[in-house]
Amino acid sequence: MLLSDRVAIITGGAKGIGRGIALKFADEGCSVAVADIDMKEANNTVSEVTKKGRQGLAIQCDVTDGKQVKSTVDKVISTFGRIDILVNDAGALLSKSAIEDLSEEDWDKSMALNLKSDFLFCKYVVPHMKKRRYGRIINISSIGATYPPAHAISYNPAKAGVLGLTYDLAYALAPYNICVNAIMPGPVRTTFYGSRVSDDAFFAELGKKAVPLGRVGTPEDIAGAALFLASELSSFITGEELRVSGGIPLTPSPAPK
């Protein structure tokens, strides 16, 4: 198994991409702590982890609150003894307002959820990784960080900030054998799309129009990339952003006749 006896903490692991990563890691021998504000869904994820024969822990956490983040990290350390892998997945598109209509409050909320949360978890996890001179940090950015598919002025810049955080930490932590990388998902069928998540026709059309490979992604697609970056298969890779986007930003070519 690629992650035998490893311990991972996954923010936003209650559903969507985070849940997909949690289950993929469990399949590969990893114990998983899920930090999420949605305790019901976090417990559901952990239940699936334990069904796979791995240890799981659900912790209710507002990932934008430093005190709660520190408490969460302390609880994972006290339960498992260490943290080998940190996946910063928590995030959401909170507003689609044009820049002239976006309030400062909504801007701050988006930055807190999509960028500050990554900083906070790194702040409290990194000291433990440094002591052990080992770690894998995977930050979930977005294709919108560099190739915005739509105007989302409070979301896309936050996800670009995640890339900056990734590069800086990769440089600073390399002497400690801590690899820091980012994943940039393209369109993935999750509740990111709100009520449209159950609309088959919408996703079929989105895949056809926007994605060179002709379909939108699944949480499992992102989980496969996360598994690679969390495992020893990527031990000589740090400071990289991995687009898992079905070929975006390439333009879809005409369907073969």
Rounded to whole angstroms, the Cα distance separating 164 from 158 reads 10
Q: CA triplet 27, 33, 36: central angle to 5 degrees?
A: 120
Which domain covers residue 130, as residue numbers?
A: 7-244
Token pair, residue 98, equals 């044009």
Q: How far apart are CA 59 and CA 57, in angstroms?
A: 6
- The pLDDT value recorded for residue 191 is 86
Number of domains in the chain: 1
Residues with Cβ < 8 Å from 248, sequence gap 6 or more? 143, 147, 149, 186, 187, 210, 211, 212
Assess if residue 251 is contained within a domain: no
> What is the mean pLDDT, run by run of 10 residues, along the chain of 257 residues?
97 98 98 98 98 98 98 98 98 95 97 98 98 98 95 97 98 98 97 87 94 97 98 98 97 80
226 alpha-carbon distance from chain centroid: 8
CATH of the domain at 169: 3.40.50.720
102 inside domain: yes
Query: Quick check: is 250 in a domain?
Result: no
By the 10 Å C-beta count (0-12 exposed, 13-18 middle, 19+ buried), 251 is classed as: exposed
User: Residue 73's pLDDT is what?
Assistant: 98
The one-letter amino acid code at 245 reads S
Q: Which residues have C-beta within 8 Å of that of residue 199, sequence separation ≥ 6? A: none
Dihedral of CA 213/3/232/89: which sign?
Answer: positive
Q: How many helices (H) and strands (E) does the chain have?
A: 8, 7
Residue 44 lies in a domain: yes
- Domain presence at residue 2: no
pLDDT at 161: 98
Active-site residue numbers?
155
